[in-house]
Structures are given as structure tokens and as C-alpha cells.
């Protein structure tokens, strides 16, 4: 069973361009989470999605950022008009429909490292 896949692994954009980050969850997982890791910082929660639904986007900036998880295909994190402050590592995690106890273990992908020039 392949793990969580993210692509691209590295992405370079110039200020004002758009960045699209993709995440394919583990087979059978219907929950996806996006986290951002700024330099010298821990991971910060951005958004939690299930298939075709955004469950919690409280950690996502109100402007320029959007996320989706369509019925078919990967989850997409989209950043419009990127700025230098968007440079970070973006991690996706997935979890199964149900798990033991109140917590469904999250399995992380290798991350996409975005550099904005």
C-alpha cells in the first residue's frame, strides 16, 4: 500500500504566480489535512477536508489560499499570487474513515517545498 504522495517535491515560483500542490492520500483514506512549516517553526494546521467537503479551514489565510478534495483525483492546495512569505514546506496527511479511539492516525507525505523568488 503506497503511502501519501505529494507532488511536486520542490516548486519554485516568482512573486505573483500561482502554486498548485497536489496530495494523493493513502488508499482507502477519505480525510486529508494540510499543514505548513515555515522556516524554524513547527507545522501549523491549515485545512481539513473530506471528499468534496471542507470540514475546517480555520488555519488557512483568508486570501489567496484555497483547497479542494474532489470525488476523483488528488487534493489540491492552491496559492494565488504568491509572495515571498509563502515560501515554506507544505505537508499533507491522510487518515482512514475510522480508527481506534477518538483519534484517527494521520499519515504524512514527504512534503512540497515551495520557494518564491
Partner 1 sequence: GNSVTQMEGPVTLSEEAFLTINCTYTATGYPSLFWYVQYPGEGLQLLLKATKADDKGSNKGFEATYRKETTSFHLEKGSVQVSDSAVYFCALSDQGYSTLTFGKGTMLLVSP
Contact residues for 69 (Cβ-Cβ < 8 A; gap 6+): 32, 49, 50, 51, 52, 53, 75, 76
Contact residues for 63 (Cβ-Cβ < 8 A; gap 6+): none
Does 52 engage in binding with partner 1 (CB under 8 A)?
Answer: no
Does 42 engage in binding with partner 1 (CB under 8 A)?
Answer: yes
**Least distance in Å: CB of 63 to partner 1?**
21
Among 11, 31, 77, 114, binds partner 1 (CB under 8 A): 31
Nearer to partner 1, 17 or 115 (CB): 115
Does 33 engage in binding with partner 1 (CB under 8 A)?
Answer: yes
Does 91 engage in binding with partner 1 (CB under 8 A)?
Answer: yes
For Cα atoms 7, 53, 74, give the angle at the middle one, nearest 5 degrees: 20
Cα–Cα distance for residue pair 2/13, rounded to 1 Å = 29
Cα–Cα distance for residue pair 7/85, rounded to 1 Å = 21
Among 45, 66, 87, 115, binds partner 1 (CB under 8 A): 45
Applying CB under 8 A, which residues contact partner 1? Answer: 3-4, 6, 31, 33, 35, 40-45, 48, 56, 59, 91, 93, 95, 101-111
Amino acid at each position: 500500500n503506497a503511502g501519501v504522495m505529494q507532488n511536486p517535491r520542490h516548486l519554485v515560483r516568482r512573486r505573483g504566480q500561482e502554486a498548485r500542490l497536489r496530495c494523493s492520500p493513502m488508499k482507502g483514506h477519505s480525510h486529508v489535512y494540510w499543514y505548513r512549516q515555515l522556516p524554524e517553526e513547527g507545522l501549523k494546521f491549515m485545512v481539513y477536508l473530506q471528499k468534496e467537503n471542507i470540514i475546517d479551514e480555520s488555519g488557512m489565510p483568508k486570501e489567496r489560499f484555497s483547497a479542494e478534495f474532489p470525488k476523483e483525483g488528488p487534493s489540491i492546495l492552491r496559492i494565488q499570487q504568491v509572495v515571498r512569505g509563502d515560501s515554506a514546506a507544505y505537508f499533507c496527511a491522510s487518515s482512514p474513515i475510522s480508527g481506534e479511539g477518538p483519534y484517527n492516525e494521520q499519515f504524512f507525505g514527504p512534503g512540497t517545498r515551495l520557494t518564491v523568488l
